[in-house]
Structure 1
Amino acid sequence: MAKNLFENKKPESVDKQLDTLEAIRQRKEEIISQETETIKNIRAGFQETVVMFIDMVDSTKFKTANIETPEKWILRVRQFSEIVKEYITECGGRVVKYIGDELMAVFPRASKINDAINLLNRIKDLQRDLSEITGEPTTIKIALDFGQVYFLEYDGHNEPDPQGTPIDRCARIAKYCRTGTALTSFELVKNSDNPRLWSLIGEAELKGIGTTRIYQFGEGTIEIKETTEIPTTELTALKDKVNKQQSEIESITLNLKDAETINGELAQKLKDAGEKISEDLILNLDDSEDNECEHNWDNIKSKISALKKMIYDCPAPQYEFGRFLFLHMRDEYWEYNSYTGDTFDTSIEANLLRVSSEKYYELDISNRRNKKAIELMDEIEFDLKKFESECRESDDKDLFDYSLKSPEFWSKYVGISVTR
């Protein structure tokens, strides 16, 4: 009998292990059940929503300019956030996130798209109020989109965080916005009561999204320009290849010049010895020099074409921007004041100009467009000086200097009159 009792008794450690395994099994079933319920709730929780990003233009520049008085830009950001929030609330939306000098809002009502459009119709009023209250010229740009959005709740956060493709797409579209404009995708336009309020301005390849048609509210004034990003490793390899080719070209040029010198010396020695030398046997690199001059001039013209494109793509009047660039090259900033009564509002709104400490207009050299234009003009001016000294014929019909400091050169080769 004692033997049977001993055989049926299991060690306590085995019982504990079985209990643990049973508890794990039950917990696993609970988790699966909870996940199934969570998935159902998530899928049911998506809502058709308009999402909007509103960004204060050039706030970083303002911060930099007031680095010694941080209270100015901090107060300006706070005033911006409060005023924009009031406008959004009045139009039926609500702010869900503040991101520095940008805020994110949603319009969840049934009239969501019309609510958002009501705000877009008040952009000028909003910019005017912001400028009056902050005491500084303040402009905004807006990106918005429409679609299924999930409001994800986090512990410790009062406002749920919107998630979904419309938010990602809207954030990508925002980089194409310009001062005082609003951009969106086809998703919002096709669901709008009046699609004619929008102008198609092009297509863009949005990262993680794909090719997307982009629309501007009102008249289309923005041109979508795609740039190809080259990975750093490929860019480095490409630069090395170009440098190697340039080195080979320079080596060939030096060898040709050496050959011409040696050939000339040998030919002279043979002539001195009384030998007749055929002219065909004497190297003459004059033709190659002519070709080099032609190549240099073609290169200059190509850069001038690039400069013209920058001027013609500028949001300000072409003659106006061209004249500012011309006067910059001549260091004649005082000439800006000779335009009595002109305020250059368009150029100022495009951040191309600033008022100097001497109270005259001048190019804002911190502007990216201006920087590129000035760098390109410096290149052209360097090439023109070299061409002037090495290649320009004495009987050239042009009676002016080949220089971006010459108004005649601008008129003939850039196609812009820079004098009045």
Structure 2
Amino acid sequence: MLRAASAHDDALDRVQAATADLDPPFAAVDLPTLRRNADDLIRRANGVPVRVASKSVRCRAVLSEVLGPELTARGGFRGIMTYSLREALWLVERGARDILMGYPTVDRTALGHLAASSEAAQAITLMIDSAEHLRIIRGAAREAPGKNDFRPRVCLDIDASLRVGPVHLGVRRSPIRTPEAAAELARRAEAAGFDVVGVMFYEAQIAGLPDSSLPVRLVKGLSARELASRRRAVVDAVRAVVGELELVNGGGTGSLEVTTADRVVTEATAGSGLYVPTLFDGYRAFTPEPSMFFALPAVRKPAPSITTLFGGGYIASGPPGASRVPRPVRPEGLKLLGTEGAGEVQTPVRGRAAASIPIGGRVWFRHAKAGELCERFDRVYLVDEHGRTEVPTYRGEGGCW
């Protein structure tokens, strides 16, 4: 459940006051709340460094806020997990130096740029889960002139899902699951001239699943116990091939306590817990405090109890359904219309408060997922006690990956 309403209201009060002169639609982040959320992620990680998931942030100013000296000095945040190699190269050009790719890439052009830059090659660790990835990476590198000495840094993505008989609980990611399969891929990578520096386990069925019922909580506990045993065996098998590893990565915002309780884990990844979208309202292990909001303007009144807003169809990725739709939060008590939902050009809302929203007024929303909102705006307003600062999102800097 959300923290007491006063904390939520304080953030919105600050954002509302600091942006009162702006014409919506726009997005804003309450910095005091974001900083508290960052501190809470550090606390929940139990002394294990947290790598920031860039796909859940998509704004360099916020990445810099979290990776600044105040938080990194305490051993809190360390490095970035990116979702695109072009994004990773772009961040290196702007000063980033510790980047772990969260997903494999087959972007030959970007791989060629990686091979041609010694600075990028030292800063970026690629993610692999098959020998075919090795072939594609090496083939792209051969096309980079004068870079036959390129020795890519790679991390092995290990399937962290729970298997109960034929039932698969988790996301469909890596085909590598057993210690034997992981060791074999590590051997092939070393033989092909790669440096295997880490292994990653993303337990989506724990990190990304709200504690919606007792059966869900039981399954999450079972999954955590199974994974802890298998993770140790996989790490030992890979170490037997390549020696010591630089990183053993795992987790997400929803599973930090569970992931970092395993001593084999050297770092966790989180990002959504900074903004806290609506998908994270149902966790028991922590109390979410939303820091990111967006405002839509009221443009017409088709009925006394309905106000129609401009835009707002910011539907989140994942399985379609009500959980992926943005939620109006101020004025309180508003709901979307089931026949229209959140629309590309207009979003009607109804409820007792709808009658009092004037044309030209505004309604505040929360998005269902974190960084995806930044794909809808080229800037975001960072708000604190001193006012607001306008900063570009990835999209505002021309970054669309």
TM-score if structure 2 supplies the norm length? 0.19
Q: Which has the higher strand share?
A: 2
Bigger relative contact order, structure 1 or 2, given CA contacts below 8 A and separation 6+? 2
Higher Rg of the two aligned structures:
1
State the TM-score, normalizing by the size of structure 1. 0.19
